Structure 1
């Protein structure tokens, strides 16, 4: 079962994950429980996770034919964690709990809702293996939500509540379950077809992907981990740049995240390109070898301007890779960039040095070279090639990005673009 990155799935891991998120977890005769005040005829009753339920759930997980961090495949069914893309939870609220069953001799049933016991147990095992996840501020809210769900459930049901079902609802995680009487189906293809159908017919969108709630927030760990260390701003920043930055931070889709940060650099392309042209002309006419009385000297200046204008005309704008290089040269400190990357993930700098970006045809990048001009040149080429692969989707020989399939590769490029964009914003800040 699983992949190399899958957590260990067993009773101890499940219970350890449960203890990290459920307050007042206690041992009872049936197994493990959390009190639900006011439930039933007692002042303090319980939602229970029995030993038999633990055993059955773990065995069901071990019966998986295969799985990734967001896709779980059994013989006659599959379950996918989703990242809803509509605001205000419209996707899950509208579709929650409704069974959509197809026609034919072997109908397929689709259900959107909270995770199954098996996927909930998997997520608890993941938490057990990565306990830093629950130190993030959003998990304080989730623990409080578990209590609220417990209070509500206590007033709605007769008999004991399953603790796994209670946790599943509190997680906010959305999954798509697919079941069929026929085995061996391409469940991922069926899932994507269902998601297209809901988007086409109801304008409700979601994608298959891991719940961001279970991803560690490296940025917070590298910056200000608590409100006590948070200071108000001492500079103001351009509204256009801030809006692009906020879009990048909030984006659930790596493509949108990368391009939002890229747009911050792009904002200054025309300015830095024109400033560079002006500087070239200024150097030319102030050089001691230049004479206004020699036609060839004037013609050399004209050629410089004409070459730049021709590039703009042929490319429909400034030479973007050259402009990106100039923006990096003017606004980005490579030493600070390396420090930010190291604080975020100590493996990233070596990753860039040892790996290109296959889907973009981009070369390796060594940020530790002493020659900063060479670093900026390589960095501009890598960033620009990634950008081109994201925005060019037509058939042909050029490298291009495949949505979702290349997200893991792209996710490693995002910190480089994000920290670059942050320096550009800060460089244009105005002191209050």
Structure 2
């Protein structure tokens, strides 16, 4: 889930830096490191000056446009990239990290470590988002930084470090990839240029990346109190449907929100046919056992036939059954709204209120008030919201219907994922069998 942008000031920059390089000391002209950092060619740096800090922060705060993954000015911009490669980092596919176009306004692209400005922004993120510092990646980064600052320590990494600033050292340590774009004249749409470059790279090299927040700077995993301590984990007391477990594991492991959401949806979808057929059987059973029903009256028999015929016609028209109705039935049978609210509150106390106050614009999905005393009404609204989000994800035809735009709507979709995951968990648990 996306977080608010950090305040870009010296205090946050220094606090973030001290997390990676502890033992900093503020002096009259800057920040002094406990020991000098090695640079290539036998050089070293031991201070981040106030002048450099001021220049960097002034430039960052003068950006004409910024979000969690980019800073843009009139003639330059920098975007954080997420590699979609299973074979390694995106930047390793490029022998030359810099590319310059032609024409009246030649565009230059550079792939690699973040600039000093973007590194300073990331340090501010570290300072103001404590959750990102708790991941195993950051323990490894701190150990690597400590090792490289030891007296007499040399490595190929140091020989390749061509910068001259503390922030250049940090940029290499945190290993984030950015795409810097610059032009001779003002540019109206840097997003268009970057996405065009990414398509060009994918077309020619089969190398895929997207604009986005590097995973080291995002708290995405759903960790609740009962799961935060590995020492508190005990042996399972139930066995679970293997197919459902596989869908659930795919969702937990997914790095792309669309895949994560649909993986959890597939868990719920697994029972659509069964609950729909069971519901039809129950409707017929109630009809023929009702005291007002008589097998001798043609009108009563015709009523039962109409019920079955309606379901059959609906199945033919909709490819099997009414999926939204089936979703509602699954929620009705296997999901406790009270437990769902408790899970959401445990994860993020603002989410239940968010669902009650906000639509899902890219899906045309309405609000859901989960704290209703009538759980059936809550389930109805929940089924509509989940189903419309699912439709927006799988249907991409041009037209008037709302639809999901990959990456552009990821922050909105991320807010829907806890809701879908906790519903899927209840469905899996409801079908567990005691060991």
Calculate the TM-score normalised by the size of structure 1: 0.89
Partner of 1:381: 384
| Pick aligned residue for 2:419 from 396, 407, 416 | 416
State whether structure 2 residue 368 is matched by structure 1 residue 369: no
Change (3 A) 1:308 1:342: same
Q: Is the partner of 2:110 in helix, strand or coil? A: strand
Q: Is the partner of 1:361 in helix, strand or coil? A: coil
Change (3 A) 1:210 1:388: same
| Pick aligned residue for 1:212 from 202, 212, 215 | 215
For the 8 Å contact 2:81–2:179, the answer to whether it is kept is yes
State whether structure 2 residue 67 is matched by structure 1 residue 64: no
Partner of 2:128: 129
How many residue pairs get aligned? The number is 427
| Deviation by residue 1:231-270 (Cα, 9 ceiling, x = unmatched) | 3433232232222222222323222222221111111111
Q: How does 1:219-298 map to 2 (within 5 A)?
A: 219-298=222-301
| Deviation by residue 1:341-382 (Cα, 9 ceiling, x = unmatched) | 111111111111112222222221111111111111111111
| Deviation by residue 1:31-74 (Cα, 9 ceiling, x = unmatched) | 432647999999xx965342143333223323423211111112
Deviates more, 1:280-289 or 1:172-181: 280-289
Q: Is the partner of 1:81 in helix, strand or coil? A: strand
| Alignment gaps of 5+ in structure 1 | none
Change (3 A) 1:147 1:32: same
CA distance in 2, matches of 1:16, 1:90: 28
| Pick aligned residue for 1:183 from 179, 186, 190 | 186
CA distance in 2, matches of 1:245, 1:75: 45
1:30 shift after superposition: 7.8
Deviates more, 1:249-258 or 1:337-346: 249-258
Partner of 2:46: 48
State whether structure 2 residue 101 is matched by structure 1 residue 102: yes
State whether structure 2 residue 428 is matched by structure 1 residue 431: no
CA distance in 2, matches of 1:71, 1:410: 20
Calculate the TM-score normalised by the size of structure 2: 0.89
CA distance in 2, matches of 1:273, 1:155: 64
CA distance in 1, matches of 2:243, 2:309: 32
For the 8 Å contact 1:272–1:326, the answer to whether it is kept is yes
Partner of 2:325: 322
CA distance in 2, matches of 1:392, 1:19: 47
Partner of 2:174: 171
CA distance in 2, matches of 1:263, 1:125: 39
Partner of 2:393: 390
1:318 shift after superposition: 1.4
Deviates more, 1:124-133 or 1:148-157: 148-157
CA distance in 1, matches of 2:62, 2:164: 25
Aligned-residue CA RMSD (Å): 2.8
CA distance in 2, matches of 1:228, 1:138: 21
For the 8 Å contact 1:20–1:131, the answer to whether it is kept is no
| Deviation by residue 1:58-108 (Cα, 9 ceiling, x = unmatched) | 233234232111111123211001121111424232237611221234321
CA distance in 1, matches of 2:21, 2:125: 15
Change (3 A) 1:221 1:25: farther
For the 8 Å contact 2:119–2:171, the answer to whether it is kept is yes
For the 8 Å contact 1:83–1:252, the answer to whether it is kept is no
